[in-house]
Amino acid sequence: MPFVKGKSGNPAGRKPGALTKQDKLRAQIAEGVPDILKAMQQKAEDGDTAAAKLLLDRVLPSLKTVDAPAPLALGTGPANLTGAATAVLAALASGSATPDQAASFAAVLASLARVKEVCELTERIEALERATTTTQKAP
């Protein structure tokens, strides 16, 4: 029977409470979890470092660094990119910014420099086009 657009092949849908294969598999695994954990714990206690690492990674995940805000006095406007880069290096050297923060600041400054460069090139091209148009119109 071909597919008819807008008409379901199973209009009644799945019966309430019907379990999918995934639900059944999860239920079976859930039944065995306490025994699995006991076995893993016993292996870890017996010196199995892989079992110990697996258990500890799940119970005590590794700590992740959290950056605190690191305000910088960068000056005003995009014209002072060199001063801003110097401020980032000074903050890194003094310890008021972490290496990750300094790298993030430097990436932002690099993006800002590219934007400034594109804006300046656009202005120069527009000025050249205006000059060319004016020169061509003159008799």
Domain map (residue ranges) of the chain: 21-59, 78-137
**For position 38, what pLDDT does the model report?**
93
**For position 40, what pLDDT does the model report?**
92
First-residue to last-residue Cα distance in the chain: 79
Which stretches of the chain score pLDDT less than 50? none
**For position 111, what pLDDT does the model report?**
93
pTM: 0.47
**CB atoms closer than 10 angstroms to residue 66:** 5
**For position 16, what pLDDT does the model report?**
77
**For position 138, what pLDDT does the model report?**
58
**For position 66, what pLDDT does the model report?**
75
